[in-house]
Amino acid sequence: MVDSTPTPAPQTSAPDTGADVAPLDVAIVGGGLAGGLIALALHRHAPGCRFAVIETGRTFGGHHRWSWFETDIRPGARGLMAGFTLNGWDEGYDITFPAYGRTLPTAYRSLASAEFHRALMDELPGECVMLGTKAASLDADGVTLSDGRRIAARRVIDCRPFAPSKALSGGWQVFLGQQYRCETPHGLTRPVIMDASVDQLAPHGNGEAYRFVYVLPLSPTDVFIEDTYYADQPRMDAGVLKGRIAEYAHRKGWKGEIVDQEAGILPVISGGDFAAASAEVAIPGVALAGARGGFSHPLTSYTVPFAVDNALAIAHLLARKPELSGAELAAFCQRRAKRHWRATSYYRMLSRMLFEAADPGKRVVVFEHFYALRGALVERFYAGRSTWPDRLRILTGKPPVAIPRAIRALFSSGKPLDAKPLDTKPLNMETPA
pLDDT given for residue 100 in this prediction: 86
| 16-74 pLDDT, tens digit each | 555 456 899 999 999 999 999 999 999 999 999 999 999 999 999 999 999 999 999 99
The residues pairing with 153 across neighbouring beta strands, listed in sequence order, are: 24
Domain assignment present for 329: yes
CATH code for position 149: 3.50.50.60
Mean pLDDT of 177-191: 97
Structural domain tally of the chain?
A: 1
Q: Which helix (H) or strand (E) holds 136?
A: strand 135-139
Q: What's the CA gap between 267 and 67, in Å, rounded?
A: 17
Kindly indicate the confidence band of residue 98, based on its pLDDT and cuts at 50, 70 and 90.
Answer: confident
pLDDT higher than threshold 80 for residue 396: no
User: Is pLDDT above 60 for 147?
Assistant: yes
> Looking at the predicted structure, is the pLDDT value of residue 429 above 60?
no
Assess contact for 228 and 173: CB atoms under 8 A.
Answer: yes
What local confidence, expressed as pLDDT, does residue 223 receive?
98
pTM: 0.88
Place 433 in a pLDDT band, splitting at 50, 70 and 90: very low
Q: What is the total residue count of the chain?
A: 433
35 found inside a domain: yes
Residue 48 lies in a domain: yes
Beta strands in 276-337 (DSSP E): 287-288
> What is the per-residue pLDDT for 420?
67
User: Is the residue at 39 inside a domain?
Assistant: yes
Residue 116 forms part of a structural domain: yes
**Hey, which residues does 229 pair with through a beta bridge?**
174, 211
Q: Is residue 140 part of a domain?
A: yes
Rounded to whole angstroms, how far apart are CA atoms 327 and 325?
A: 5
Does residue 303 sit within a domain?
Answer: yes
Strand boundaries in 146-237, DSSP class E: 150-152, 156-158, 165-182, 192-195, 210-217, 222-231
Please give the average per-residue pLDDT across 203-208, as a whole number.
Answer: 54
As a whole number of angstroms, the distance between CA 136 and CA 185 comes to 48
Separation of CA 31 from chain center: 13
SS3 at position 403: helix
The verdict on residue 388 lying in a domain is no
Q: What is the mean pLDDT of the chain?
A: 87
HSE value, Cβ hemisphere, 13 Å, CA-based, for 136: 8
CA neighbor of 218 nearest in space, from 243, 189, 195, 240: 189
Mean pLDDT of 85-95: 96
According to the model, what pLDDT value does residue 2 have? 37
How far is residue 143's CA from residue 1's CA, in Å, rounded to a whole number? 38
User: Domain range holding 293?
Assistant: 26-86+110-163+271-343
Cα–Cα distance measured from residue 185 to residue 25, given in angstroms and rounded to the nearest whole number: 50
Q: Which residues pair with 158 in a beta bridge?
A: 29, 288
What pLDDT band is residue 394 in, cutting at 50, 70 and 90? confident
